[in-house]
């Protein structure tokens, strides 16, 4: 069970790190994300920049919590809430047919779709599962595993992170879904 929990923590950390970097890479990336926040109807145009900044800060905070020794369980609980909110916002946008990208990992012209909703829901579910499992462990931290077990957890996480981050590319490759990047 420890390998699964650590793989989940590493997956969440990887996704959050790439997300934060993608949105903060440069001023244009942040501006595109702030505009997407408005177009996704997460907030009004007046509040788009503060809400975008708060979203990025929340992602960075959850990233720090899941990795910091002694705070992983709190971080997992925060990740459930964070990805739950993302799932709701994205699902509402898809239902409305919003022609905007989610900008989850930086600028994107690919309109938000159900695969993005499913991705966020899977991350919330992964965090919830790791949280429940983590509550049964004496301590949850990256140091609970032996090096070979950590390598297995890292490899699993790397595969999942790559799959989730490159989801639009995979959808295009496998189904020919329209995709512009």
Range with lowest mean pLDDT among 42-51, 76-85, 98-107: 98-107
Whole-structure pTM value: 0.90
Q: Residue 180: pLDDT above 70?
A: no
Confidence of residue 171 (pLDDT cuts 50, 70, 90): confident
Q: Residue 22: pLDDT above 70?
A: yes
Looking at per-residue pLDDT, the higher value among 48 and 175 belongs to 48
| Residues ≥6 apart with Cβ < 8 Å to 156 | 3, 7, 10, 11
82: closest CA among 100, 107, 65?
A: 65
Confidence of residue 104 (pLDDT cuts 50, 70, 90): confident
pLDDT at 40: 85
Written as six digits, the tokens of 144 are 């609970």
CA dihedral 170, 101, 19, 178 (to 10 degrees): 10
Angle at 119 between CA 114 and CA 122, to 5 degrees: 120
Q: What is the pLDDT of residues 55-72, one digit of tens each?
A: 999 999 999 999 998 899
Written as six digits, the tokens of 1 are 């069970």
Looking at per-residue pLDDT, the higher value among 40 and 51 belongs to 51
CA distances from 168 to 44, 60, 153 (A): 27, 23, 25
Confidence of residue 148 (pLDDT cuts 50, 70, 90): very high
pLDDT at 139: 75
Confidence of residue 109 (pLDDT cuts 50, 70, 90): confident
Q: What mean pLDDT comes out for the span 84-106? A: 90
Q: Where are the domains of the chain?
A: 2-175
Q: What mean pLDDT comes out for the span 5-26? A: 95
- Name the β-bridge partners of 106: 104
Q: Residue 168: pLDDT above 80?
A: yes
In whole angstroms, give the CA distance from residue 88 to residue 132. Answer: 22
Confidence of residue 178 (pLDDT cuts 50, 70, 90): low
Helices (H) and strands (E) in the chain, counts: 7, 0
């Amino acid at each position: 069970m420890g390998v699964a929990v650590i793989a989940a923590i590493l997956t969440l950390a990887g996704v959050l790190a790439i997300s934060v970097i993608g949105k903060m890479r440069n001023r244009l990336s942040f501006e595109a994300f702030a505009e997407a926040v408005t177009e996704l109807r997460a907030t009004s145009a007046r509040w788009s920049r503060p809400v975008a900044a708060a979203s990025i800060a929340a992602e960075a905070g959850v990233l720090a919590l899941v990795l910091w020794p002694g705070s992983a369980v709190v971080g997992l609980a925060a990740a459930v809430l964070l990805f739950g909110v993302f799932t709701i916002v994205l699902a509402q946008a898809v239902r409305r047919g919003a022609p905007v990208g989610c900008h989850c990992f930086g600028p994107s012209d690919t309109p938000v779709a159900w695969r993005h909703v499913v991705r966020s829901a899977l991350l919330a579910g992964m965090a919830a599962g790791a949280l429940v499992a983590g509550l049964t462990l004496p301590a949850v931290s990256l140091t609970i595993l032996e090096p070979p077990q950590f390598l297995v957890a890292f490899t699993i996480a790397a595969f999942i992170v790559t799959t989730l981050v490159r989801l639009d590319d995979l959808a295009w490759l496998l189904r020919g879904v329209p995709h512009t990047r």
